[in-house]
Structure 1
Amino acid sequence: MDEIQSRGPGTFVPLAEDTAGEQGSSGSGGEGGGDGNGDESGEAQDEESSSSNTLVTMETELENFRQEWRRELEESPQFDASVGASRGNTAELSESHKEEIVEEKARRYFLQGINAEQSGRLYEAISFYRRAVQLVPDIEFKMFDNSGKMQTDNGSDTSDDSAVEEEEDVLNEDGDVSDLVTKFNNLSALSGCTLICQPDLDQKTTHISALPREVFMYILRWLVSSDFDFHSLEQVSMVSRGFYLCARDPEIWRLACLRVWDVNCGHPNKYGTWRDMYVQRPRLRFNGAYISRTTYVRYGEAMFQDASYRPCYLVEYYRYLRFFPDGMVFMLTTPDDPYQSLAKLRHRKVRHTTVLTGHYRLLGNSVSIIAKRPKVELPVGSNYFRYRRNKQNLSHDPGEQQYHLKLEVRNIKHRTNFQLLWQHYAIHTKYRNGQETVSSFDLTPKTFPPFWFSRVRSFTTESISPLQ
């Protein structure tokens, strides 16, 4: 095949044609032209025609290759914008480029607003959100997908390798474990997600993460309820980081402190936070009952048949105390075990005459209680007036009794406010003639053992009203 020399893009000149021209000129000018020269010129023409045909074929194939190459480039998703600009789409590309710049600026404002909100700078957060909405009104919907994950410019969520590494770095930082609120806030700022949680699996129904934070906080107030069931609140905080942050909301713990100590609440500067104040300061527990078990041996009288034999009896009874946040207290003394007796203390309205009702007052770590037996409402009927006439004729006046108790709140190991110790116990009896007697008891550990707290789940199964 004849050689081809390239002299520029798209231009090819056969070397055989130049060679043939030189041979023809030299043959015509040389001596002894004759028939031999004619044969040589014919062969040169044949060779020139064959080389020109080959050149046309190669140029056609090359042009087809160029067209196919351009077509593949135009159909490729990575087609350069300069090609489109050369075809008259320069104005459209510039408009789309401007929109991308505006949207990217709105995204930056929105992320700055999220970081400011997580840090507690609400005024700055509102300013950033306003700027972002002014640039792109639906920027919030573009920032998050249906699952609540923040989207980046290329459409992928922010849970990439770099974000995961940053979260691991934050979690692996050396520090106090009690400062989890700060760590979780930093992780939320890194992820850019403001939802209370994120569904791990695809949900066909509405997930709890779709609830606004304000609604979820109101649900937590119902969970704590007026009975102060903070044990259930701590269980909820173990679900996720978002639930943990909601359960540590200062407003919930501030309301609890105000309900417990009222005017003597003060400020939590000494403890650090409202939650630390509620946990560390001496108080009473409301999601259960304090139980004291008393046991002693009592000897009976000697038998007339055998004077040397005296029977002995093991006496066992229980004392129960249940406190309410509004200052009410129930007191019960009975030989029945807790499984039979705690049901009598469940409802606020007293349904058993053996339950004493009263009020308490907490001062420091001391609790003062005044309780009395509720009045028995007799049915009005034929026997009512006979009972009243016989009661007036009685010479014995039992009087009205009031039970005065003073107890000390104590911590046992890692259990705060778990024990109540006796400090004072007396019964005040007031008679109809105006006289009043006081019977004080000698408090010994055997006859008056301390109260121990026991959580009762049935006390908090129903929520009457939220924490307010």
Structure 2
Amino acid sequence: MESADIENDDDISSSDNVEQTDSQISSHKTQSPSTQENDELEVFREEWREELKRKQQPQSSSVEEEAVSLYWMGAAAERSGDMHAALLFYKKACHLVPDIDFKLNKEQPPQSSDSEDSGDEDGPSGYERGSRELVEQFQTLSIQGPHWCTPARSTKSVHISSLPLDVVRCIVQWVVSAQLDMRSLEIVSMTCRALYCLAREPHLWRMACRRVWRDVSSASSYGDSWRRMFILKPHLQFNGVYISKNSYVRQGERSLDTFYRPYHTVVYYRFLRFLPDGSVMYQNTPENPMVSVSRLCHKHSRDESVLLGEYTHTGSKVVVEVVSQATGGSPQRQRGRGKGKRQGSSYDRKFHLELSLSSSSSRQRCNQLSWREYSCQSLHKPTGHAQTSHFNLDYTYTPFYFSRVKSYSTNSTGMLT
């Protein structure tokens, strides 16, 4: 009986243990989803921290060394003149290390410890040094080898490189022409390295300076560079025209009922075109500049409104004198006896203009002429009586501004000599 009771107690205890185990399993099952989510979130956080640490860590030495090597290879290619290969090396270096150029500018470049001091804080930056070196390399370019030019690809037609170098120099002088079209010369210099060198020859710019200034003794103040002197020293421009737009108000006629009185705004233009030989063309007309500039294309124009004269240029001062002959005036109708007959003007007029040459901006040099003095001397041919009138330079005398005219440089009348 007792044994049976004991067996029953064991069954009870075992059943209790089973119930306890089931409860633990059920509780474990109810807690497992949240625990797994916490574990996954913690793993994600750890991976994210490691990724941030990897991004914040500097580039590996091997990758950075390869980028530095590619960068200096590009610099060497640039010094030798192979710009295409230099760009390829620079792109590969920046692909490996995006800020490789900034890092190298803070360091001493290789093979330059003897010539430059990287510890000088007041010295030029790496970019400025590179730009200066590039300019110096372009200035030292020269034509080398038996042929002054080499074709980029084979062709059946005769290439310009077959011409002798002296003939090509004459062609370049025809490009500049007697009109001193230096803009066309710069365009030709962009063609190839050989024409770039020919367009930078000192004797070419020396001839241009002699055409502009009779005295070229001041070239020493520009580092004995004729091209630098021509660019920096103030001078007139010859491939266009200086235009001054003027306007005034004129009173009109009253209406029949005297209630309405109109006022008209009159607009007219003054044109000045300077030529390298010291002559100048002057015109005063109400016509649109698009129509008038064509009349100043040739020196000997048939238009009576175009006056010819001479000019002198000293520093920033420009003196212009143009003459209106008595036979070139508009005919006038006589009164009294001989009424109906027409005759020309009996006055010779000489206009004297003193202008000041300046630049309106850093990009547009020597493009503005401001008034300093304006007078007119009239000579009556029959009596010989002369009279001089000085004009008051008020706000109505607006400055002249330069405008380039393409038709002035399409043809060359002669080569630069």
TM-score range, shorter chain: 0.5 to 0.7
Greater RCO (Cα-Cα under 8 Å, separation 6 or more): 2
Report how many aligned residue pairs link the two structures.
292
Normalising by structure 2, we get a TM-score of 0.63
Structure 2 distance, partners of 1:170, 1:458, is: 40
Match of 1:306 in 2: 258
Is residue 2:375 matched to residue 1:426? Answer: yes
Structure 1 distance, partners of 2:273, 2:231, is: 19
Structure 1 distance, partners of 2:137, 2:227, is: 17
Partner AA of 1:201 in structure 2: R
- Give the drift of 1:167: 4.0
Structure 1 residues 179 and 232 mapped into 2: Cα distance closer, same or farther (>3 Å)?
A: farther
Structure 1 residues 238 and 390 mapped into 2: Cα distance closer, same or farther (>3 Å)?
A: farther
Residues 318-397 of structure 1: pairs in structure 2 closer than 5 A: 318-374=269-325, 376=327
Q: Is the 8 A contact 1:170 1:183 kept in 2?
A: no
Structure 2 distance, partners of 1:396, 1:337, is: 27
Does the residue aligned with 1:209 lie in a helix, a strand or coil?
A: helix
Task: State percent identity of aligned pairs.
Answer: 37
Does the residue aligned with 2:367 lie in a helix, a strand or coil?
A: strand
- Give the drift of 1:344: 0.8
Partner AA of 2:137 in structure 1: K
Match of 2:201 in 1: 249
Q: Is the 8 A contact 1:195 1:242 kept in 2?
A: no
* From 391, 400, 403, the counterpart of 1:441: 391
Q: Is the 8 A contact 1:357 1:374 kept in 2?
A: no
Match of 1:208 in 2: 160
Q: CA RMSD in A?
A: 3.2
Structure 2 distance, partners of 1:390, 1:175, is: 83
Match of 2:353 in 1: 405
Structure 1 residues 375 and 352 mapped into 2: Cα distance closer, same or farther (>3 Å)?
A: farther
* From 79, 83, 106, the counterpart of 1:169: 79
Structure 1 distance, partners of 2:374, 2:416, is: 33
- Give the drift of 1:181: 6.6
Structure 1 residues 454 and 444 mapped into 2: Cα distance closer, same or farther (>3 Å)?
A: same
Structure 1 residues 261 and 200 mapped into 2: Cα distance closer, same or farther (>3 Å)?
A: same
Structure 1 residues 194 and 183 mapped into 2: Cα distance closer, same or farther (>3 Å)?
A: farther
Structure 1: where are the runs of 5+ without partners? 1-162, 379-385
Structure 2: where are the runs of 5+ without partners? 1-72, 87-126
- Give the drift of 1:395: 12
- Give the drift of 1:187: 6.1
* CA displacement, residues 216-262 of structure 1 (integer Å, 9 cap, x when unaligned): 11111101110111110011111122221111111111011111111
Q: Is the 8 A contact 2:326 2:346 kept in 1?
A: no
Structure 2 distance, partners of 1:456, 1:464, is: 16
Does the residue aligned with 2:408 lie in a helix, a strand or coil?
A: helix
Is residue 2:287 matched to residue 1:287? Answer: no
Residues 125-274 of structure 1: pairs in structure 2 closer than 5 A: 166-170=76-80, 175=129, 177=131, 182-184=136-138, 193=145, 195-262=147-214, 264-272=215-223, 273-274=225-226
Structure 2 distance, partners of 1:194, 1:267, is: 37
Structure 2 distance, partners of 1:179, 1:331, is: 46
Q: Is the 8 A contact 1:181 1:245 kept in 2?
A: no
- Give the drift of 1:345: 0.7
Structure 1 residues 455 and 397 mapped into 2: Cα distance closer, same or farther (>3 Å)?
A: closer
Structure 2 distance, partners of 1:325, 1:369, is: 14
Q: Is the 8 A contact 1:359 1:371 kept in 2?
A: yes
Partner AA of 2:177 in structure 1: S
